[in-house]
Structure 1
Amino acid sequence: MTMPLMKNVYGLTRRRLLGGVGAGLALSLLPRAAHAADDLDDLIREQMAVAQIPGLAVGLARDGEVAFARSYGFADLEQRRPVTPDTMFHIASITKTVTATAVMMLVDAGRIELDQRVAPYLDFTIAGEQAATITFRHLLMHTAGISEEVYYQTDFRTHGADASLTIDQLLRDYLAPGGRYTGTGNVKTVPGTHWAYSNIGYGLLGYLAGRIAGQDMRVFTRDHIFRPLGMRHTAWTIADTPADLAVTPYDLVDQAVEPVPPVGFPDWSAGMMRASIRDLTQFVAMVANGGVAGDVRVLSSAHAAEMLTMQTPEGLSPWLSGQGLAWQQSSLGGVPSANHWGGDPGVFTMAYLDPAQRKGVVLLSNLSATGESRDALKSIAAKVFEAN
């Protein structure tokens, strides 16, 4: 279940990984990256040791291309299988930036407008007096007024496999009148007036994009984003992720690392994507380069820029300084930076953009978020921007 990541990070106590096997994953046990060591390599290996991260991949995007994609540590500790640039990590909530891109492609194509109400495009009614005023922009900016209190009280996940509950059934159960979890309605504030991070909102966007495009959004993104950009190691499901490329997710239990099963959840457009560092860095390269990578234009420059235009809606979380269309803004090395994080059991991910310099950095790890890993990944991201 994809959650507002910072809820998971800031409240964590200091814990050590692999306490039962030598008090941690020592630097000497980390396989070196398949390229010459440099200062960045040294920093990454040091930060992995401090944060006790089993496996990590780092990518730099520059001028619409992948400048580098580096890999460190282990995709699976028991098998001693190293991370490679083709290893497919669960990217968790960074998925939302892909969903938002698909929606903006439909805007580009003239199929919808950002400030149109979504109700005419649905085959069910959203309960609540204010629900009819929800627009695509509201959903993209987490200002649709959808409460997720019930969402976080209910475990919709399937452990070890893709979810059996479909996205449309989840949305009907949660939003439609008479739905299993609807109650008097889960739209609790007037749309457009208050920020509240919403996985259900992005589930709804995925469902809407599919209806408007006339095909499942996962097929749409495969045909119109992944294939044109050469993203060959990207999947929407656990089942479609080859076992030899999948990372094992890890959590911390009683000061020791423990493997945990991957999780599947029905609101896949909020956080189910799997991607290699090469592939996700290629996607970020396109976003940071005004919607174009190489000779492939995915988004118009105007709509690519609009996705990164930040606003400060009421109720915006204190760790953010802006909210765009999926992309958010917070400080990196003292500089406000567009970014998105992701976190689920056994995974912690970050992507940062510097559109002024047409650069981006991506970090993927296979350990649940901790305070130490948050600091480690931010330090690495800042170093990549500084040195490149």
Structure 2
Amino acid sequence: MTTMLKKLWKKATLTTFTVIAFTLSGQAQDGKTEADIQALMQQHDMVGLSVAVVRKGEIVYARSFGLKDVESQTPLTNNDIFRIASISKSFTVTSLMQLVEAGKLSLDEDVSKLVGFQVRNPKYPNKVITLRMMLSHTSSINDSQGYFTLDTIDPAKNPNWAACYNSYEPGTQYEYCNLGFNMAGTILEKLSGERFDQYVKRHILNPMGLYGGYQVDSLDASRFVTLYAYNPDSSTFSPSPSAYAPRREEISNYQMGYSTPIFSPTGGMKMSASDLARYMSMHMNKGEYKGTRIISKKSARQMQKKIADNGYGLALKTERNLIPGKALVGHTGNAYGLYSAMFFQPKEQFGIVVITNGTSAPEVNEYNLALADVINSLYNNLIK
């Protein structure tokens, strides 16, 4: 652990391990869990950490450790919200599945018709690229031209649009692609007639009683957790204020059905670990949370079903190496120094959410090694 962070983190440990766990079986177990987490935080130079554990639809453990903001020495609490990065993709697909159920959309429709411009791999001009391909990262579209605007892939806007496609045939291989999910958010907007951020809030967050959203100015800024990017060359952390850029000017000039990447359907959701755990419970329970159905069982099963060879479905991936012997379904996130993970076991009905706002641990095989250690610790102490 870096000397500076060690001093700050040690000071924080004296004041920040007081957040209430909702249900816990015994003080000894509680103490063992916290001791293990504190050791892992020091081992992996974690600035702050929020965790939530779910069993059979109920949060049985939710705590926050370390610092929300290093400069002000503000402790992290369960009420604080993070930009959760790529776990946001599942909110986009959940919304689209609602439109599928309403008969407004098919997963096998031509993306060209849905977005309003030609979406074709120039090496396979007769091969239709479907929404299902795009949502499973098997479309052959890539992020080489960037993904913060649809101009990159629109032939009328970018002379180099062909570079947005890989050399293989659409539907045959997997490559993670943020651009595809920003396009998916645009499709949601076109077909629903609602601005992307407002649709998700009205049709997912509000019905479930969750606090969060994609638009920065719609949220309480005092609850934002500062994210810290780690520089391995200097072993230092630096804050990433752009994670919560309000983008007011861009929103004031918003073009429905095209400007959607402003809200980042691919990674822009802001939410606490506890509310994310409630959202996870909905997917674990096949689309329903405490009597409120968000998507049908059929839609939930489609999202969780493997499409790509690596286990990726529709914004949810089956991960077999995270906890030995357990096939987990979920997603991870990585942006601006933040690392997040949301995974559940559908049959055994348990799930774990972990989010850190900064760590020196690297990401391997699409999940962060520090979060993998925390997930296994929580499983061994509270589930196993």
Deviation at 1:149, TM superposition (A): 2.2
Give the aligned partner of residue 383 of structure 1: 377
- Equivalent residue of 2:62, what SS? strand
Query: In the alignment, does 2:4 pair up with 1:20?
Result: yes
Counterparts of 2:9 and 2:267, CA distance in 1: 28
- Counterparts of 1:112-123 in structure 2, within 5 Å, are 112-123=105-116
State the match for 1:218 in structure 2: 197
CA contact (8 A) 2:227 2:357 kept: yes
Matched residue type, 2:172: T
Residues 9 and 66, structure 2, Cα contact 8 Å, conserved in 1: no
Q: Is contact 1:127-1:175 (8 Å) kept?
A: no
Residues 288-297 or 103-112, more deviating: 103-112
Q: TM-score, length-normalised on structure 1?
A: 0.82
Aligned residue for 2:241, secondary structure, equals: coil
State the 1:292 CA deviation: 0.5
Q: How many corresponding residue pairs?
A: 347
Amino acid at match of 2:80: T
Q: Deviations over 1:289-342 (max 9, x none)?
A: 1111101011111211121111344xxxxxxx4111111122122233222111
TM-score (norm 2): 0.83
Asked if structure 1 preserves the Cα contact closer than 8 Å seen for 2:145 and 2:163, the reply is no
1:181-227 residue CA offsets vs partner (Å, 9 max, x unmatched): 64435233322111111100000100001111111221111011000
Deviation of the 1:22 alpha carbon: 5.1
Residues 132-281 of structure 1 aligned to structure 2 (within 5 Å): 133-151=128-146, 170-171=149-150, 173-180=151-158, 182-184=160-162, 186-188=164-166, 189-232=168-211, 234-253=212-231, 254-263=234-243, 264=245, 266=262, 268-281=264-277
Partner of 2:258: none
**What CA distance in whole angstroms lies between the structure 1 residues aligned with 2:135 and 2:101?**
15
Q: Determine if contact 2:228/2:238 at 8 Å carries over to the other structure.
A: yes
Instruction: Please state how far the C-alpha of 1:30 moved relative to its aligned partner.
Output: 6.2
Q: What residue number does 1:347 align with?
A: 338
The separation in 2 between residues aligned to 1:205 and 1:211, in whole angstroms, is 10
Higher relative contact order (CA 8 A, sep 6+): 1
Structure 2 runs not aligned, ≥5 long = 21-26, 246-260
Match of 1:107 in 2: 100
Are residues 1:329 and 2:299 paired? no
Q: Percent identity?
A: 26
CA distance in 2, matches of 1:97, 1:22: 35
CA separation of 1:66 and 1:271: change in aligned 2, threshold 3 A: same
Q: Are the aligned partners of 2:281 and 2:289 in contact in 1 as well (CA < 8 Å)?
A: yes
**2:340 & 2:159 partners in 1: Cα distance?**
30
In structure 2, the partner of 1:90 is 83
RMSD: 2.4
> CA deviation digits over 1:123-156, x for unaligned, max 9?
222354446611111011001110222328xxx5
1:23 offset after TM fit, Å? 6.5
Contact 2:6/2:42 (8 A) holds in 1? no
Amino acid in structure 2 at the alignment position of 1:347: L
Contact 2:144–2:163 (8 Å) recurs in 1: no
SS in 2 for 1:333: coil
Three-state SS of the structure 2 residue aligned to 1:61 is strand
3-state DSSP class of the match of 1:323? coil
CA deviation string 1:248-300 (max 9, x = no partner): 11123412333232335736000011101121111101011111110101111
Give the letter aligned to residue 220 of structure 2.
P
Distance 1:375 1:323 in 2: 20
